Amino acid sequence: MKVLITGASSGIGRDMARIMAQKADELVLVARDLKKLEELKQELESKTKVEIISIDLTSEENCKEIHNRVQNVDILINNAGFGDCGDFTKTSLEKEINMIKTNIIAYHILTKLYLIDMKNKDSGKILNVASIAGVMPGPLMATYYATKNYVVRLSEAIREELKKDKSKVQISILCPGPVNTNFNKVANVKFNLREANSMKVAEYAIKNLEKGKFYIVPGMDVKFARIGVRFLPNSIIAKFAYMAQKRKLGGN
């Protein structure tokens, strides 16, 4: 089994790589930070074959190059992503454009290209790492929530197409709440909510991917939040989300 994981240099992606090293014949790990990828390769290569690709996913060409270089993938885990926090008129446009490229366009390209391959051989799994942020509006983190909403809606639609085609290919989404990773530092936030342990989230994700679940939502509190948003109008959810984000605004 060959597994490709983006955003494997840190956090949830790195922990999923550690778990997959016990199961896969071949791991392909993608991120920008070569040193961290090399350290992870050294840690895992006694367990499985590991290829690392240091590349920036904000470039469309780089995403297409990954697909050209890495063929016969059985499991694709689109995980690389980041956020930012602050009033929409005050946050950095450049950072947001890079966020849209990483969190949306790279997911879109890799999902499409590998899904075509998987459909042709009628096997394979794609795990798109979204967030609980993907099922609601997110004032003060507007762009990040919007990117994750894209991932959720895209994956839900693809899932239905696969069902209608009676395809054996599986697509799943991981929707965690706050997780203790490097995310906060990059997003300039301080979570006041309890943060989940990254390895526990990764273990839960892989276990449920193997079971064939579509919505993978780790933690009872996050499960309740997902149920809650189904019954409340978006205008009310936006008010709650605003209050929650306001409490965790970092240096902005």
Ligand X SMILES: NC(=O)c1ccc[n+]([C@@H]2O[C@H](COP(=O)([O-])OP(=O)(O)OC[C@H]3O[C@@H](n4cnc5c(N)ncnc54)[C@H](OP(=O)(O)O)[C@@H]3O)[C@@H](O)[C@H]2O)c1
Q: What is the dihedral of CA 214, 218, 221, 224, to 10 degrees?
A: 10
CB nearer ligand X, residue 79 or residue 91 = 79
| Least CB distance to ligand X at residue 141 (A) | 11
Minimum gap (Å) between residue 171 Cβ and ligand X: 16
- Dihedral sign computed on CA atoms, order 45, 50, 56, 57: negative
Q: Which residues of this chain interact with ligand X, rule CB under 6 A?
A: 7-13, 31-33, 36, 56-58, 79-82, 102, 129, 131, 176, 178-179, 181-183, 186
Whichever of 158 and 174 has its CB closer to ligand X, that residue is 174
Query: Which of residues 82 and 240 has its CB atom nearest to ligand X in the complex?
Result: 82
| Residue 184 C-beta: closest distance to ligand X, Å | 7
DSSP string, the chain: -EEEEESTTSHHHHHHHHHHTTT-SEEEEEES-HHHHHHHHHHHTTTSEEEEEE--TT-HHHHHHHHHHS-S-SEEEE-------S-TTTS-HHHHHHHHIIIIIHHHHHHHHHHHHHHHHT--EEEEE--GGGGS--TTSHHHHHHHHHHHHHHHHHHHHHHHTT---EEEEE--S-BSSSHHHHHTB---SPPBPHHHHHHHHHHHHHHT-SEE--SHHHHHHHHHHHHS-HHHHHHHHHHHHHHTB---
Q: Which of 2, 114, 145, 148 is catalytic?
A: 148
Task: Tell the smallest beta-carbon distance from residue 112 to ligand X (Å).
Answer: 18
Of 79 and 170, the one with the shorter C-beta distance to ligand X is: 79
Shortest separation between residue 166's beta carbon and ligand X, angstroms: 30
Nearer to ligand X, 13 or 124 (CB): 13
Q: With respect to ligand X, which residue has the nearer C-beta, 101 or 119?
A: 101
From the list 107, 114, 144, 145, the catalytic residue is 144
Angle at 53 between CA 184 and CA 141, to 5 degrees: 25
144 assigned to active site: yes
Give the residue at shortest CB distance from ligand X: 11
Q: Shortest Cβ distance from residue 128 to ligand X (Å)?
A: 9
Pairwise CA distance, residues 109 & 160, whole Å: 19
Would you name the residues annotated as active-site residues? Answer: 144, 148
